[in-house]
């Protein structure tokens, strides 16, 4: 067999090298992928960390081709992934924090609401936010949570249970156009913590659909804009958002909301689907504070995993100017 020529050595591995450059480009410039056709940009961003799976495949291809060019090119997506997501893998600061919160879409088909509530209590959070509450299951959650969480509020299918008193409870209207009055998935509560009052929002944005025309996220994006406007108008400085946002914080469709809040600094906490989680669509976000770490709790009877978070506040307590006219929540 003839020895490879210099030209062959230079060109060998061009295909994996090209794919490596394209993968790095998608990671770094994902916002440049247009949303005009099938919301392709949002779809990419919803699963952006999974582009990292291309890196070991490209390494294998480069090794098989014995290509230095391809091996060097694979450093580009590796560096891009590390820059975007590597920080989430670093050890979290487990030191002092102000509150712990749990966010969980409990599923409207959950066969064991009492067991689910007890499982959430085991992590001893200060706040528990639930979505997909049904009239049939709500009494079971109320009974199981009441001893440890004497304060709670429910609006429609979302609710908040707290160790600390609630005030200024009100519904937040995040209904996208075309949905009727009975659709209530937004709640705002003031929580009187030992560090002062915080405003806690609980929300469940509309689901997305995969259709022949692409990624159907229009209603969810509209709800995100409405919720973002509510958070922007919030007069209490310190805000915590707990909710099933039906996408990741990288998805530009949520930008009107996520641009106003801080995402967790540590932890992937993939929460959906529970059987094989591929994305964290259950979020804990803050304003004038930080989420040092998020992690998932063991599976319940839901198709989502519960997400827990340690939250610290970095400013002096904010104050309300009296616009919170909702009635105080009852102590159970």
What is the 3 state secondary structure string of 60-81? Answer: HHHHHHCCHHHHHHHHHHHHHH
Please check whether residue 77 is in contact with residue 55, taking contact to mean a CB–CB distance below 8 angstroms. yes
Residue 250 carries which DSSP code?
Answer: T
CA-CA distance, 42 to 323, in Å (whole number)? 35
Q: At 226, give phi and psi (nearest 5°).
A: -65, -40
Q: At 72, give phi and psi (nearest 5°).
A: -65, -40
pLDDT of residue 7: 53
pLDDT of residue 96: 81
CA-CA distance, 243 to 13, in Å (whole number)? 46
Can you list the domains of the chain with their CATH numbers? 6-89 (no CATH), 99-313 (3.60.10.10)
Question: How large a percentage of the chain has pLDDT more than 70?
Answer: 91
pTM for the predicted model, two decimal places? 0.89
pLDDT of residue 216: 82
**pLDDT class of 172 with cuts at 50, 70, 90:** very high
Cα distances (Å, whole numbers) of residue 223 to 173, 227, 253 = 9, 6, 10
Does pLDDT of 2 surpass 70? Answer: no
Per-residue pLDDT tens digits for 37-69: 888 999 999 999 999 999 999 999 999 999 999
Per-residue pLDDT tens digits for 216-261: 889 999 999 999 999 999 999 999 999 999 999 999 999 999 999 9
Per-residue pLDDT tens digits for 7-38: 565 667 899 999 999 999 999 999 999 988 88
Question: How large a percentage of the chain has pLDDT more than 90?
Answer: 82
């Amino acid at each position: 067999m003839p020895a490879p020529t210099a030209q062959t050595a230079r060109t060998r591995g061009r295909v994996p090298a090209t794919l490596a450059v394209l993968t790095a480009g998608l990671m770094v410039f994902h916002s440049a992928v247009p949303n005009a056709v099938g919301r392709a940009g949002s779809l990419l961003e919803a699963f952006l960390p999974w582009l990292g799976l291309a890196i070991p495949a490209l390494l294998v291809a480069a090794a098989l081709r014995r290509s230095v060019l391809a091996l060097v090119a694979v450093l580009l997506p590796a560096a891009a992934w590390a820059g975007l997501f590597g920080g989430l893998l670093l050890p979290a600061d487990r030191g002092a924090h102000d509150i712990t919160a749990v966010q969980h879409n409990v599923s409207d088909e959950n066969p064991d609401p009492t067991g689910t509530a007890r499982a959430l209590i085991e992590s001893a959070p200060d706040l528990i936010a639930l979505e997909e509450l049904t009239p049939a299951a709500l009494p079971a959650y109320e009974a199981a949570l009441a001893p440890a969480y004497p304060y709670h509020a429910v609006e429609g299918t979302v609710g908040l249970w707290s160790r600390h008193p609630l005030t200024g409870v009100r519904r937040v209207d995040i209904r996208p156009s075309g949905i009727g009055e009975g659709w209530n998935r937004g709640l705002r509560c003031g929580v009187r913590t030992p560090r002062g009052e915080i405003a806690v929002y609980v929300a469940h944005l509309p689901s997305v659909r995969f259709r022949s025309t692409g990624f159907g996220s229009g209603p969810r994006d509209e709800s995100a804009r409405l919720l973002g406007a509510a958070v922007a108008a919030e007069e209490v400085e310190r805000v915590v958002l707990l909710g099933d946002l039906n996408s990741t914080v990288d998805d530009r469709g949520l930008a009107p909301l996520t641009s106003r809040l801080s995402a967790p600094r540590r932890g992937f906490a993939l929460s959906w689907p529970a059987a094989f989680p591929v994305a964290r669509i259950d979020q804990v976000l803050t304003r004038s504070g930080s989420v040092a770490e998020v992690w998932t709790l063991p599976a319940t009877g839901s198709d989502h995993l519960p997400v827990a978070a340690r939250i610290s506040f970095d400013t002096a307590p904010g104050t309300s100017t009296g616009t919170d006219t909702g009635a105080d929540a009852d102590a159970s």
